[in-house]
Structure 1
Amino acid sequence: MSVQLYVDMFSQPCRSVYIFCKKNNIPFEFKDVALFDGEHFGDEFGKINLIRKVPAIKDGDFCLAESIAILQYLAEKYKTPDFWYPADLQKRARVNEYMSWQHMAIRWHGSKMFWLRVLIPKILGKAVPQDKLDAALEDLNGSLKLLEEKFIQDKPFIAGDQISLADLVAIVEVMQPVASGMDVFEGRPKLSAWRDRVQETIGKELFDEAHEKIFAAKETVATMDDSKLQVFKPKVMRLFL
């Protein structure tokens, strides 16, 4: 029986789970949940995940939310190669360390930059003040520095010589501000070399497929019905401005 995978590929965590499933030949049924259409608030999705977030999975009668929990569940259920979520206590701790840190660091700061550069100008009908952009960029640069100096260091990958769930979770977050038009790799040869290794290990075709929607986001948002985005205005004002 295949897993039902509920995702919107605009979302970084959705892309990490999607790539993991495809790379490991985990059978799944793709369930597209259009966040901009509010489908995560519908009755059908509410039966899958009361948290109303993607990704989520349904495995038989078992439903699970939160991307990290989903990745760990799939790695253990399908007995994927050990390097993804190592049995070695210290290597697994390194993976867990990164995945625990990233939520309010690289994830938040990369997402914020994408919102400020792509979504908020469309929602509000005007450019974001420069001081807001500068502050967000400073936060993002701080997280990227920690990713390089604390987590990658001089290793090929975050947990050592092989790719792991940590690298998969990291790469999709790093690519989010890239999709807004930023080159976060400029002047960061260590980060750039790590990106190349991760992309090569995943496979360029799969990597590009998973990021196709987000790389077209600027054009998609530019042509989007303004009324569709107004539901996000309170969130924008509360969280970003």
Structure 2
Amino acid sequence: MGLELYLDLMSQPCRAVYIFCKKNGIPFQLRPVELLKGQHYTDSFAQVNPLRKVPALKDGDFTLAESVAILLYLSRKYKTPDHWYPQDLQARARVDEFLSWQHTALRSCCLRAMWQKMMFPVVLHQPVPQETLSSTLAELDSCLRLLEDKFLRDQNFLSGPQISVADLMAITELMHPVSAGCQVFESRPKLASWRRRVEAVVGEDLFQEAHAVVLKAKDTPPVDPALKEKFLHSLQSLLQ
């Protein structure tokens, strides 16, 4: 059995892993896991990833969770071009710096913006207080400023002159609030130019393919009532 990837392209880190593999010609078998159908709660998926999260990787008898760990494993096993995760100590440290920051900063506010603005009211029929959403959008704006001023600065990509896994993680995060109608790029020419460079390297067709599901998220049918309470319980922190 070859490499298997358990993904739901509604998930931002799943999209980063998917784009990375497709762009680098890494062969894999796609094992879809539909989060909104609760498939990550099944016992069969727990055998692959007891954390019950996607993405997940199965490579023969070896299993691996967490998107960053998966991206780095794939970059090393398949010896992808150095720019994705550089060998140079300081260049690699810049990638690591962003990955460490975004995991608790950019990811958090992008995820909450998308769910509070669209998924809770549309898919779960759960109202979100306006003050909660306003606070989240203010936090998102602060993160976008840091993304531009601290990480992007005056260079082409987040960690230097070439694209890296940091850029894949960032762009897939930002497309989450974009799918909910947030104006992430419109008033930020530096960030908009970066997005165009990332899309050009990835390829427009692959970029659109990876984001087709999330960009149609507003058309997602309501979650099965039997799963609604479980979702609300697991996502309660996103309402805060």
Instruction: Give the alignment's TM-score, normalised by structure 2.
Output: 0.95
Percent identity over paired residues: 51
Q: Distance in 1 between matches of 2:84 and 2:11?
A: 21
Q: Look up the equivalent residue of 2:40 and give its one-letter code.
A: H
C-alpha distance in 1, partners of 2:235/2:66? Answer: 22
Q: How does 1:200-211 map to 2 (within 5 A)?
A: 200-211=200-211
Aligned positions, number? 240
Q: What secondary structure sits across from 1:64 in the alignment?
A: strand
CA shift for structure 1 position 227: 4.5
For 1:204 and 1:228, how far apart are their aligned partners in 2?
A: 35
Instruction: Give the partner amino acid of 1:219.
Output: D
1:124-161 superposed Cα distances (whole Å, 9 cap, x missing partner): 63542211111001110011110000000000001211
Closer, same or farther: CA 44–126 of 1 in aligned 2, 3 Å: closer
8 A contact 1:6–1:54 mirrored in 2 = yes
Gaps of 5+ in 1: none
Tell me, in whole angstroms, the C-alpha distance in 2 between the residues paired with 1:203 and 1:116.
30
Q: TM-score, normalised by structure 1?
A: 0.95
Instruction: Give the equivalent residue in structure 2 for 1:165.
Output: 165
CA distance in 2, matches of 1:165, 1:66: 14
Alignment of 1:142-221 (within 5 A): 142-221=142-221
Please list, as runs of the form range in 1=range in 2, the aligned pairs for 1:69-84 lying within 5 A after superposition: 69-84=69-84
Structure 1 residue 226 displacement after superposition? 4.5
Superposition pairs for residues 41-52 of structure 1, below 5 Å?
A: 41-52=41-52
Give the structure 2 partner of residue 133 of structure 1.
133
Query: Measured at CA, do residues 236 and 29 of structure 1 come closer, stay the same or move farther in structure 2, by a change above 3 Å?
Result: closer
Letter of the 2:104 counterpart: M
Asked if 1:9 is matched to 2:9, the reply is: yes
Q: Distance in 1 between matches of 2:86 and 2:41?
A: 36
1:159 match: secondary structure: coil
1:123–1:226 contact (8 Å) kept in structure 2? no
Aligned Cα root-mean-square deviation (Å): 1.5
Q: Which amino acid aligns with 1:206?
A: L
1:235 aligns with 2:239: no
Does the residue aligned with 2:220 lie in a helix, a strand or coil?
A: helix
Structure 1 ranges of 4+ moved more than 6 A? none
